[in-house]
A and B are shown apart, each in its own frame.
Chain A
Amino acid sequence: MDYESTNNISNKYDLVIEAGKSKSHYWKNIWRYHELFVFFAWRDILVRYKQTVFGISWSIVRPLLSMIVFSIIFGRIAKLPSDGIAYPVLVYAAMLPWTFFATSLMAISNSLIGNANLISKIYFPRIIIPTSTIIVSLVDFLISFVIYIILMIIYKVQISWHIVTLPLFLFLTILSVIGLGLLIAAMNVKYRDFKYIVPFIIQLGMYISPVGFSSNIIPEKWRLLYSINPMVGIIDGFRWALLGGHVKIYLPGLLISIILMVIFCITGIKYFRSTEQNFADVI
Protein backbone atom coordinates (compact mmCIF):
# COMPACT_ATOMS: atom_id res chain seq x y z
CA MET A 1 0.00 0.00 0.00
CA ASP A 2 1.42 3.30 -1.02
CA TYR A 3 0.75 6.20 1.34
CA GLU A 4 1.46 9.81 0.59
CA SER A 5 4.18 11.06 2.88
CA THR A 6 2.99 11.92 6.34
CA ASN A 7 4.14 15.51 5.99
CA ASN A 8 1.89 15.96 3.03
CA ILE A 9 -1.01 14.56 4.94
CA SER A 10 -0.41 16.68 8.05
CA ASN A 11 -0.92 19.73 5.92
CA LYS A 12 -4.26 18.60 4.62
CA TYR A 13 -5.67 16.88 7.69
CA ASP A 14 -6.20 18.19 11.21
CA LEU A 15 -5.11 15.00 12.85
CA VAL A 16 -3.09 12.02 11.73
CA ILE A 17 -2.84 8.88 13.82
CA GLU A 18 -0.18 6.57 12.55
CA ALA A 19 1.24 3.32 13.79
CA GLY A 20 4.64 3.72 15.33
CA LYS A 21 4.64 7.51 15.34
CA SER A 22 3.76 9.80 18.20
CA LYS A 23 0.81 12.01 17.53
CA SER A 24 1.36 15.29 15.78
CA HIS A 25 1.28 18.47 17.85
CA TYR A 26 1.60 16.90 21.33
CA TRP A 27 2.06 20.06 23.37
CA LYS A 28 -0.38 22.17 21.37
CA ASN A 29 -2.89 19.43 21.95
CA ILE A 30 -2.38 19.61 25.69
CA TRP A 31 -3.22 23.30 25.68
CA ARG A 32 -6.49 22.52 23.96
CA TYR A 33 -7.45 20.51 26.99
CA HIS A 34 -6.52 23.08 29.60
CA GLU A 35 -10.13 23.43 30.71
CA LEU A 36 -10.23 19.74 31.45
CA PHE A 37 -7.16 20.18 33.63
CA VAL A 38 -8.97 22.80 35.68
CA PHE A 39 -12.06 20.64 35.94
CA PHE A 40 -10.18 17.63 37.20
CA ALA A 41 -8.52 19.74 39.87
CA TRP A 42 -11.88 21.28 40.77
CA ARG A 43 -13.49 17.86 40.94
CA ASP A 44 -10.76 16.46 43.21
CA ILE A 45 -11.04 19.43 45.56
CA LEU A 46 -14.82 19.23 45.73
CA VAL A 47 -14.91 15.50 46.27
CA ARG A 48 -12.34 15.74 49.02
CA TYR A 49 -14.59 17.78 51.19
CA LYS A 50 -18.03 16.47 50.35
CA GLN A 51 -19.83 14.86 53.19
CA THR A 52 -17.15 15.75 55.69
CA VAL A 53 -18.03 17.67 58.79
CA PHE A 54 -14.70 19.32 59.39
CA GLY A 55 -14.04 19.89 55.74
CA ILE A 56 -11.15 22.13 55.07
CA SER A 57 -9.91 22.18 58.62
CA TRP A 58 -8.20 18.85 57.96
CA SER A 59 -5.61 20.71 55.89
CA ILE A 60 -4.82 22.72 58.97
CA VAL A 61 -5.01 20.07 61.63
CA ARG A 62 -2.65 17.60 59.99
CA PRO A 63 0.52 19.70 59.73
CA LEU A 64 -0.18 21.33 63.09
CA LEU A 65 -0.42 18.01 64.86
CA SER A 66 2.72 16.68 63.20
CA MET A 67 4.52 19.82 64.19
CA ILE A 68 3.50 19.40 67.80
CA VAL A 69 4.53 15.77 67.89
CA PHE A 70 7.89 16.37 66.24
CA SER A 71 8.65 19.36 68.42
CA ILE A 72 8.09 17.30 71.50
CA ILE A 73 10.00 14.25 70.32
CA PHE A 74 12.93 15.84 68.53
CA GLY A 75 13.02 19.16 70.31
CA ARG A 76 12.24 18.41 73.92
CA ILE A 77 12.99 14.76 74.36
CA ALA A 78 15.89 14.25 71.96
CA LYS A 79 16.96 17.85 72.44
CA LEU A 80 18.32 18.22 68.91
CA PRO A 81 19.81 21.61 68.13
CA SER A 82 17.69 24.10 66.30
CA ASP A 83 20.12 26.86 65.30
CA GLY A 84 18.56 29.37 67.60
CA ILE A 85 15.03 29.18 66.27
CA ALA A 86 11.95 28.01 68.11
CA TYR A 87 11.69 24.30 67.40
CA PRO A 88 8.06 24.31 66.31
CA VAL A 89 8.83 26.95 63.69
CA LEU A 90 11.79 24.94 62.43
CA VAL A 91 9.65 21.87 62.06
CA TYR A 92 6.71 23.65 60.50
CA ALA A 93 8.89 25.34 57.92
CA ALA A 94 9.89 21.86 56.78
CA MET A 95 6.40 20.44 57.09
CA LEU A 96 5.20 22.85 54.43
CA PRO A 97 7.17 21.42 51.54
CA TRP A 98 7.19 17.91 52.93
CA THR A 99 3.43 17.60 53.27
CA PHE A 100 3.04 18.99 49.80
CA PHE A 101 5.55 16.52 48.43
CA ALA A 102 4.13 13.53 50.26
CA THR A 103 0.47 14.10 49.52
CA SER A 104 0.99 15.00 45.90
CA LEU A 105 3.30 12.05 45.31
CA MET A 106 0.74 9.68 46.80
CA ALA A 107 -2.05 11.24 44.77
CA ILE A 108 -0.09 11.23 41.51
CA SER A 109 0.99 7.62 41.82
CA ASN A 110 -2.56 6.43 42.03
CA SER A 111 -4.12 9.02 39.76
CA LEU A 112 -4.00 6.99 36.59
CA ILE A 113 -5.33 3.83 38.17
CA GLY A 114 -8.03 5.78 39.95
CA ASN A 115 -9.24 7.21 36.67
CA ALA A 116 -8.98 3.96 34.75
CA ASN A 117 -12.55 4.18 33.54
CA LEU A 118 -11.87 7.53 31.92
CA ILE A 119 -8.64 6.42 30.32
CA SER A 120 -10.25 3.47 28.64
CA LYS A 121 -13.24 5.37 27.26
CA ILE A 122 -12.26 8.92 26.42
CA TYR A 123 -9.37 10.57 24.71
CA PHE A 124 -7.45 13.39 26.29
CA PRO A 125 -3.72 13.82 26.83
CA ARG A 126 -3.13 11.46 29.73
CA ILE A 127 -0.61 13.78 31.31
CA ILE A 128 -3.48 15.96 32.47
CA ILE A 129 -4.58 13.50 35.10
CA PRO A 130 -1.42 13.24 37.17
CA THR A 131 -0.61 16.92 36.86
CA SER A 132 -4.06 18.05 37.95
CA THR A 133 -3.74 16.19 41.23
CA ILE A 134 -0.93 18.53 42.21
CA ILE A 135 -3.38 21.41 42.35
CA VAL A 136 -5.25 19.86 45.26
CA SER A 137 -2.06 19.56 47.29
CA LEU A 138 -1.16 23.09 46.27
CA VAL A 139 -4.38 24.34 47.78
CA ASP A 140 -3.53 22.50 50.98
CA PHE A 141 -0.11 24.08 50.88
CA LEU A 142 -1.54 27.56 50.66
CA ILE A 143 -3.83 26.92 53.60
CA SER A 144 -0.96 25.58 55.70
CA PHE A 145 1.07 28.59 54.71
CA VAL A 146 -1.51 30.87 56.25
CA ILE A 147 -1.11 28.93 59.49
CA TYR A 148 2.63 29.37 59.19
CA ILE A 149 2.25 33.10 59.00
CA ILE A 150 0.27 32.97 62.23
CA LEU A 151 3.03 30.89 63.79
CA MET A 152 5.64 33.38 62.67
CA ILE A 153 3.70 36.13 64.38
CA ILE A 154 3.37 34.12 67.58
CA TYR A 155 7.05 33.22 67.74
CA LYS A 156 8.15 36.62 66.53
CA VAL A 157 10.29 35.28 63.70
CA GLN A 158 11.98 37.93 61.64
CA ILE A 159 11.65 37.85 57.89
CA SER A 160 14.56 38.67 55.67
CA TRP A 161 14.81 39.23 51.93
CA HIS A 162 15.29 35.49 51.53
CA ILE A 163 11.60 35.06 51.55
CA VAL A 164 11.48 36.28 47.97
CA THR A 165 13.09 33.05 46.87
CA LEU A 166 10.26 31.00 48.33
CA PRO A 167 8.35 30.64 45.06
CA LEU A 168 11.54 29.31 43.49
CA PHE A 169 11.78 26.55 46.05
CA LEU A 170 8.12 25.80 45.66
CA PHE A 171 8.66 25.49 41.95
CA LEU A 172 11.53 23.09 42.55
CA THR A 173 9.28 20.98 44.74
CA ILE A 174 6.66 20.88 42.03
CA LEU A 175 9.28 19.84 39.52
CA SER A 176 10.44 16.96 41.64
CA VAL A 177 6.90 15.82 42.29
CA ILE A 178 6.09 15.90 38.60
CA GLY A 179 9.25 14.05 37.69
CA LEU A 180 9.00 11.31 40.25
CA GLY A 181 5.24 11.23 40.08
CA LEU A 182 4.95 10.78 36.33
CA LEU A 183 7.52 8.05 36.43
CA ILE A 184 5.78 6.19 39.21
CA ALA A 185 2.28 6.76 37.86
CA ALA A 186 3.21 5.37 34.46
CA MET A 187 4.93 2.36 35.97
CA ASN A 188 2.08 1.81 38.39
CA VAL A 189 -0.28 1.21 35.50
CA LYS A 190 1.55 -1.92 34.53
CA TYR A 191 3.27 -2.98 37.72
CA ARG A 192 0.90 -2.43 40.57
CA ASP A 193 3.62 -2.93 43.19
CA PHE A 194 4.05 0.81 43.42
CA LYS A 195 0.80 1.10 45.24
CA TYR A 196 2.62 -0.41 48.21
CA ILE A 197 6.09 0.94 47.58
CA VAL A 198 5.16 4.61 47.54
CA PRO A 199 3.52 4.92 50.97
CA PHE A 200 6.42 3.00 52.44
CA ILE A 201 9.01 5.29 50.88
CA ILE A 202 7.13 8.31 52.09
CA GLN A 203 6.99 7.00 55.62
CA LEU A 204 10.71 6.30 55.62
CA GLY A 205 11.36 9.59 53.91
CA MET A 206 9.72 11.54 56.67
CA TYR A 207 12.37 10.41 59.09
CA ILE A 208 15.31 10.42 56.74
CA SER A 209 14.58 13.90 55.43
CA PRO A 210 15.33 16.78 57.78
CA VAL A 211 11.70 17.39 58.65
CA GLY A 212 11.84 16.84 62.37
CA PHE A 213 15.38 18.10 62.71
CA SER A 214 17.80 20.47 61.08
CA SER A 215 20.12 19.08 58.42
CA ASN A 216 23.00 20.84 60.09
CA ILE A 217 23.30 17.97 62.52
CA ILE A 218 24.48 15.70 59.73
CA PRO A 219 28.28 15.42 59.93
CA GLU A 220 30.16 17.25 57.16
CA LYS A 221 31.59 14.20 55.48
CA TRP A 222 28.15 12.69 54.92
CA ARG A 223 26.47 15.91 53.92
CA LEU A 224 26.98 15.55 50.19
CA LEU A 225 25.72 12.00 50.14
CA TYR A 226 22.79 13.01 52.28
CA SER A 227 21.83 15.61 49.68
CA ILE A 228 21.01 12.96 47.14
CA ASN A 229 17.61 12.94 48.74
CA PRO A 230 16.03 15.80 46.78
CA MET A 231 13.88 16.84 49.69
CA VAL A 232 17.00 17.70 51.70
CA GLY A 233 17.87 20.53 49.34
CA ILE A 234 14.27 21.67 49.18
CA ILE A 235 13.66 21.66 52.91
CA ASP A 236 16.91 23.47 53.55
CA GLY A 237 15.90 25.97 50.93
CA PHE A 238 12.50 26.53 52.51
CA ARG A 239 14.06 27.01 55.90
CA TRP A 240 16.60 29.40 54.48
CA ALA A 241 13.91 31.42 52.73
CA LEU A 242 11.48 31.54 55.62
CA LEU A 243 13.72 31.88 58.62
CA GLY A 244 16.11 34.56 57.46
CA GLY A 245 19.77 34.46 58.25
CA HIS A 246 19.53 31.94 61.07
CA VAL A 247 19.77 28.95 58.83
CA LYS A 248 22.78 28.69 56.59
CA ILE A 249 22.26 26.98 53.34
CA TYR A 250 24.50 24.18 52.21
CA LEU A 251 25.09 25.08 48.61
CA PRO A 252 26.64 21.95 47.17
CA GLY A 253 23.74 19.99 48.58
CA LEU A 254 21.23 22.32 47.02
CA LEU A 255 22.94 22.12 43.65
CA ILE A 256 22.90 18.37 43.67
CA SER A 257 19.21 18.36 44.56
CA ILE A 258 18.42 20.73 41.72
CA ILE A 259 20.35 18.72 39.16
CA LEU A 260 18.74 15.49 40.30
CA MET A 261 15.28 17.01 40.17
CA VAL A 262 15.75 18.29 36.66
CA ILE A 263 16.97 14.87 35.58
CA PHE A 264 14.00 13.19 37.23
CA CYS A 265 11.61 15.61 35.63
CA ILE A 266 12.90 15.06 32.13
CA THR A 267 13.09 11.30 32.59
CA GLY A 268 9.64 11.21 34.08
CA ILE A 269 8.05 13.15 31.26
CA LYS A 270 9.85 11.13 28.62
CA TYR A 271 8.89 7.81 30.15
CA PHE A 272 5.31 8.94 30.53
CA ARG A 273 5.06 10.03 26.93
CA SER A 274 6.48 6.81 25.65
CA THR A 275 4.12 4.63 27.64
CA GLU A 276 0.95 6.72 27.69
CA GLN A 277 -0.27 5.38 24.39
CA ASN A 278 -0.55 1.94 25.84
CA PHE A 279 -2.38 2.87 29.02
CA ALA A 280 -5.80 2.06 27.66
CA ASP A 281 -4.64 -1.40 26.68
CA VAL A 282 -2.89 -2.22 29.92
CA ILE A 283 -4.88 -0.51 32.63
Chain B
Amino acid sequence: MSFWKKLEAVDARVIYLILWIAIGLPLLTPLYLPLSISPDTVNYHKAIEALPAGAVVAFGMDVSPAGYGGELGPQARATAYHLFTKPVKIVFVSFWETGAPLIQDVWKNRFVADAMKDKKYGEDYVNLHWIPGSETGMAAFAEDVWKTVPADYKGTKLADLPMMAKIKSVNDFALLVCIETGTPGGPEYLRQWQARNRNLKMLVGSLGVSVPANIAYMASGQYVSILRGGRGATEYQYILKIVTPTDVQGSDAMTMSHMVVLVFLLLGNLGYLATKGQKGGKK
Protein backbone atom coordinates (compact mmCIF):
# COMPACT_ATOMS: atom_id res chain seq x y z
CA MET B 1 0.00 0.00 0.00
CA SER B 2 1.42 3.39 -1.00
CA PHE B 3 1.95 6.25 1.46
CA TRP B 4 -1.04 8.14 0.05
CA LYS B 5 -3.29 5.10 0.28
CA LYS B 6 -2.31 4.62 3.93
CA LEU B 7 -3.01 8.28 4.57
CA GLU B 8 -6.44 7.99 2.99
CA ALA B 9 -7.28 5.11 5.32
CA VAL B 10 -6.11 6.86 8.50
CA ASP B 11 -8.54 6.64 11.43
CA ALA B 12 -10.36 9.93 12.14
CA ARG B 13 -9.50 9.48 15.82
CA VAL B 14 -5.81 9.91 15.00
CA ILE B 15 -6.63 13.35 13.58
CA TYR B 16 -8.64 14.21 16.71
CA LEU B 17 -5.67 13.20 18.86
CA ILE B 18 -3.28 15.36 16.82
CA LEU B 19 -5.70 18.28 17.23
CA TRP B 20 -5.89 17.72 21.01
CA ILE B 21 -2.11 17.87 21.21
CA ALA B 22 -1.72 20.85 18.85
CA ILE B 23 -4.35 22.84 20.72
CA GLY B 24 -3.19 21.73 24.16
CA LEU B 25 0.41 22.83 23.66
CA PRO B 26 -0.19 26.61 23.60
CA LEU B 27 -2.78 26.24 26.36
CA LEU B 28 -0.05 24.96 28.66
CA THR B 29 2.35 27.74 27.72
CA PRO B 30 1.64 30.78 25.49
CA LEU B 31 3.63 30.80 22.24
CA TYR B 32 2.98 34.49 21.38
CA LEU B 33 2.39 33.75 17.70
CA PRO B 34 2.06 36.91 15.54
CA LEU B 35 -1.42 38.41 15.15
CA SER B 36 -2.26 41.28 12.80
CA ILE B 37 -5.16 43.66 13.50
CA SER B 38 -7.84 43.65 10.80
CA PRO B 39 -9.46 46.90 9.54
CA ASP B 40 -12.88 45.65 10.75
CA THR B 41 -11.68 45.49 14.35
CA VAL B 42 -10.11 48.95 14.02
CA ASN B 43 -13.43 50.32 12.69
CA TYR B 44 -15.34 48.58 15.50
CA HIS B 45 -13.09 50.33 18.02
CA LYS B 46 -13.37 53.68 16.21
CA ALA B 47 -17.18 53.55 16.22
CA ILE B 48 -17.26 53.30 20.03
CA GLU B 49 -14.53 55.93 20.39
CA ALA B 50 -16.61 58.34 18.28
CA LEU B 51 -19.68 58.13 20.55
CA PRO B 52 -20.64 61.53 21.95
CA ALA B 53 -21.04 61.99 25.72
CA GLY B 54 -24.46 60.91 26.92
CA ALA B 55 -25.19 58.75 23.87
CA VAL B 56 -27.46 55.79 24.61
CA VAL B 57 -26.09 52.40 23.60
CA ALA B 58 -28.08 49.18 23.45
CA PHE B 59 -26.00 46.13 24.30
CA GLY B 60 -27.72 43.05 22.88
CA MET B 61 -26.39 39.98 24.66
CA ASP B 62 -27.94 37.47 22.30
CA VAL B 63 -25.75 34.50 23.06
CA SER B 64 -25.89 30.85 23.98
CA PRO B 65 -23.57 29.51 26.69
CA ALA B 66 -21.59 27.58 24.05
CA GLY B 67 -21.01 30.67 21.91
CA TYR B 68 -20.19 32.70 25.00
CA GLY B 69 -17.73 30.11 26.26
CA GLY B 70 -15.88 30.14 22.95
CA GLU B 71 -15.72 33.26 20.80
CA LEU B 72 -18.38 35.62 22.09
CA GLY B 73 -17.37 35.86 25.76
CA PRO B 74 -14.10 37.71 25.05
CA GLN B 75 -15.92 39.92 22.51
CA ALA B 76 -18.66 40.83 25.01
CA ARG B 77 -16.20 41.52 27.83
CA ALA B 78 -13.91 43.71 25.67
CA THR B 79 -16.88 45.66 24.25
CA ALA B 80 -18.43 46.18 27.71
CA TYR B 81 -15.07 47.33 29.06
CA HIS B 82 -14.67 49.80 26.20
CA LEU B 83 -18.20 51.16 26.63
CA PHE B 84 -17.78 51.55 30.40
CA THR B 85 -14.67 53.67 29.84
CA LYS B 86 -16.76 56.11 27.76
CA PRO B 87 -19.28 58.68 29.12
CA VAL B 88 -22.26 56.88 27.58
CA LYS B 89 -25.46 55.25 28.87
CA ILE B 90 -25.70 51.51 28.35
CA VAL B 91 -28.87 49.42 28.19
CA PHE B 92 -28.07 45.71 28.48
CA VAL B 93 -30.77 43.48 27.07
CA SER B 94 -31.10 39.96 25.70
CA PHE B 95 -33.50 38.28 23.33
CA TRP B 96 -31.98 34.91 24.18
CA GLU B 97 -33.08 33.51 27.53
CA THR B 98 -29.64 31.93 27.88
CA GLY B 99 -27.90 35.25 27.22
CA ALA B 100 -29.55 37.27 29.98
CA PRO B 101 -27.74 35.71 32.98
CA LEU B 102 -24.44 36.06 31.13
CA ILE B 103 -24.72 39.87 31.26
CA GLN B 104 -23.78 39.68 34.94
CA ASP B 105 -20.96 37.31 34.09
CA VAL B 106 -19.54 39.98 31.75
CA TRP B 107 -19.59 42.47 34.63
CA LYS B 108 -17.55 40.07 36.78
CA ASN B 109 -14.55 40.32 34.47
CA ARG B 110 -11.78 42.21 36.27
CA PHE B 111 -11.26 44.78 33.50
CA VAL B 112 -15.01 45.42 33.18
CA ALA B 113 -15.44 45.58 36.96
CA ASP B 114 -12.62 48.14 37.17
CA ALA B 115 -14.18 50.29 34.43
CA MET B 116 -17.60 50.05 36.14
CA LYS B 117 -16.34 51.41 39.47
CA ASP B 118 -17.28 55.02 38.67
CA LYS B 119 -20.56 54.10 36.99
CA LYS B 120 -23.86 54.05 38.84
CA TYR B 121 -26.52 51.42 38.17
CA GLY B 122 -29.73 53.04 36.97
CA GLU B 123 -28.01 56.26 35.97
CA ASP B 124 -25.23 55.06 33.67
CA TYR B 125 -26.30 51.52 32.87
CA VAL B 126 -29.22 49.15 33.30
CA ASN B 127 -29.86 45.46 32.74
CA LEU B 128 -33.29 44.80 31.25
CA HIS B 129 -32.63 41.05 31.21
CA TRP B 130 -34.52 38.76 28.83
CA ILE B 131 -37.36 39.69 26.51
CA PRO B 132 -39.28 36.74 25.05
CA GLY B 133 -40.78 36.44 21.61
CA SER B 134 -37.60 36.48 19.56
CA GLU B 135 -38.13 38.84 16.60
CA THR B 136 -41.62 39.76 17.80
CA GLY B 137 -40.09 40.77 21.13
CA MET B 138 -37.53 42.89 19.29
CA ALA B 139 -40.30 44.67 17.41
CA ALA B 140 -42.28 45.29 20.61
CA PHE B 141 -39.17 46.63 22.37
CA ALA B 142 -38.40 48.92 19.42
CA GLU B 143 -41.92 50.35 19.51
CA ASP B 144 -42.31 50.79 23.26
CA VAL B 145 -39.56 49.88 25.70
CA TRP B 146 -41.60 50.61 28.81
CA LYS B 147 -44.55 48.47 27.81
CA THR B 148 -42.36 45.53 26.80
CA VAL B 149 -40.08 45.61 29.84
CA PRO B 150 -41.89 46.70 32.98
CA ALA B 151 -38.86 46.08 35.22
CA ASP B 152 -35.13 45.35 35.16
CA TYR B 153 -33.37 42.10 36.11
CA LYS B 154 -33.83 42.75 39.83
CA GLY B 155 -37.51 43.60 39.50
CA THR B 156 -36.94 47.36 39.85
CA LYS B 157 -39.57 49.25 37.87
CA LEU B 158 -38.30 51.36 34.98
CA ALA B 159 -39.78 54.46 36.60
CA ASP B 160 -37.26 53.99 39.43
CA LEU B 161 -34.29 53.91 37.03
CA PRO B 162 -33.42 57.57 36.23
CA MET B 163 -31.66 56.93 32.89
CA MET B 164 -34.73 55.14 31.52
CA ALA B 165 -36.81 58.35 31.73
CA LYS B 166 -35.56 59.41 28.29
CA ILE B 167 -35.45 55.95 26.71
CA LYS B 168 -38.87 55.16 25.31
CA SER B 169 -38.25 53.51 21.95
CA VAL B 170 -35.54 52.46 19.49
CA ASN B 171 -35.36 56.08 18.29
CA ASP B 172 -33.59 57.00 21.52
CA PHE B 173 -30.59 54.75 20.83
CA ALA B 174 -27.49 56.01 18.99
CA LEU B 175 -25.72 52.66 18.74
CA LEU B 176 -26.59 49.00 19.00
CA VAL B 177 -23.91 46.48 19.85
CA CYS B 178 -25.17 42.99 19.15
CA ILE B 179 -23.14 40.04 20.38
CA GLU B 180 -24.88 37.24 18.52
CA THR B 181 -24.91 33.47 18.41
CA GLY B 182 -27.62 33.13 15.77
CA THR B 183 -31.32 33.84 15.41
CA PRO B 184 -32.50 36.28 16.62
CA GLY B 185 -29.40 38.35 15.98
CA GLY B 186 -28.06 40.99 13.61
CA PRO B 187 -30.47 40.50 10.67
CA GLU B 188 -33.49 40.58 13.01
CA TYR B 189 -32.23 43.80 14.59
CA LEU B 190 -31.86 45.22 11.07
CA ARG B 191 -35.45 44.33 10.25
CA GLN B 192 -37.02 45.52 13.49
CA TRP B 193 -34.71 48.19 14.90
CA GLN B 194 -32.77 49.79 12.06
CA ALA B 195 -35.84 49.73 9.80
CA ARG B 196 -37.56 51.94 12.43
CA ASN B 197 -34.52 54.10 13.22
CA ARG B 198 -32.43 54.59 10.09
CA ASN B 199 -29.83 56.57 12.11
CA LEU B 200 -29.15 53.63 14.40
CA LYS B 201 -25.54 52.50 14.00
CA MET B 202 -24.86 48.80 14.43
CA LEU B 203 -21.82 46.87 15.58
CA VAL B 204 -21.96 43.09 15.57
CA GLY B 205 -19.84 40.64 17.52
CA SER B 206 -20.11 37.55 15.39
CA LEU B 207 -19.26 33.88 15.65
CA GLY B 208 -16.75 32.85 12.99
CA VAL B 209 -19.40 30.69 11.36
CA SER B 210 -21.67 33.73 10.85
CA VAL B 211 -18.98 36.02 9.43
CA PRO B 212 -19.68 35.33 5.71
CA ALA B 213 -23.37 36.18 6.24
CA ASN B 214 -22.58 39.31 8.23
CA ILE B 215 -20.01 40.68 5.78
CA ALA B 216 -22.79 41.43 3.28
CA TYR B 217 -24.44 43.81 5.76
CA MET B 218 -21.13 45.48 6.52
CA ALA B 219 -20.37 45.97 2.83
CA SER B 220 -23.77 47.61 2.34
CA GLY B 221 -23.12 49.97 5.25
CA GLN B 222 -25.95 48.60 7.39
CA TYR B 223 -23.44 47.45 10.01
CA VAL B 224 -20.63 49.85 10.85
CA SER B 225 -18.33 46.93 11.54
CA ILE B 226 -18.09 43.40 12.92
CA LEU B 227 -15.77 41.44 15.18
CA ARG B 228 -14.77 38.26 13.40
CA GLY B 229 -15.03 35.41 15.88
CA GLY B 230 -12.40 34.66 18.48
CA ARG B 231 -9.66 36.23 16.40
CA GLY B 232 -11.59 39.51 16.25
CA ALA B 233 -11.97 39.40 20.04
CA THR B 234 -8.23 39.01 20.62
CA GLU B 235 -7.46 41.80 18.11
CA TYR B 236 -9.87 44.08 19.96
CA GLN B 237 -8.30 43.17 23.31
CA TYR B 238 -4.89 44.09 21.86
CA ILE B 239 -6.22 47.50 20.75
CA LEU B 240 -7.75 48.12 24.20
CA LYS B 241 -4.57 46.85 25.89
CA ILE B 242 -6.52 44.39 28.05
CA VAL B 243 -5.07 41.23 26.60
CA THR B 244 -4.04 38.62 29.17
CA PRO B 245 -1.74 35.57 28.76
CA THR B 246 -4.90 33.39 28.80
CA ASP B 247 -6.27 35.32 25.80
CA VAL B 248 -2.93 34.93 24.00
CA GLN B 249 -3.07 31.19 24.73
CA GLY B 250 -6.54 31.05 23.18
CA SER B 251 -5.46 32.84 20.01
CA ASP B 252 -2.29 30.71 19.81
CA ALA B 253 -4.39 27.55 20.15
CA MET B 254 -6.67 28.80 17.39
CA THR B 255 -3.70 29.44 15.09
CA MET B 256 -2.30 25.98 15.85
CA SER B 257 -5.65 24.32 15.15
CA HIS B 258 -5.91 26.12 11.82
CA MET B 259 -2.39 25.07 10.91
CA VAL B 260 -3.28 21.44 11.59
CA VAL B 261 -6.47 21.73 9.51
CA LEU B 262 -4.53 23.39 6.68
CA VAL B 263 -1.87 20.66 6.74
CA PHE B 264 -4.57 17.99 6.53
CA LEU B 265 -6.34 19.87 3.73
CA LEU B 266 -3.06 20.05 1.84
CA LEU B 267 -2.29 16.37 2.43
CA GLY B 268 -5.82 15.39 1.41
CA ASN B 269 -5.56 17.31 -1.85
CA LEU B 270 -2.06 16.02 -2.58
CA GLY B 271 -3.29 12.49 -1.91
CA TYR B 272 -6.20 13.02 -4.25
CA LEU B 273 -3.92 14.27 -7.02
CA ALA B 274 -1.32 11.52 -6.43
CA THR B 275 -3.87 8.69 -6.58
CA LYS B 276 -5.97 10.22 -9.36
CA GLY B 277 -5.96 7.96 -12.38
CA GLN B 278 -4.09 5.16 -10.54
CA LYS B 279 -5.58 1.69 -10.49
CA GLY B 280 -8.20 1.80 -7.76
CA GLY B 281 -7.61 5.53 -7.32
CA LYS B 282 -10.03 8.34 -7.93
CA LYS B 283 -10.88 9.11 -11.54
Q: Do A and B come from one complex?
A: no
Interface residue ranges, B against A (CB under 8 Å): none
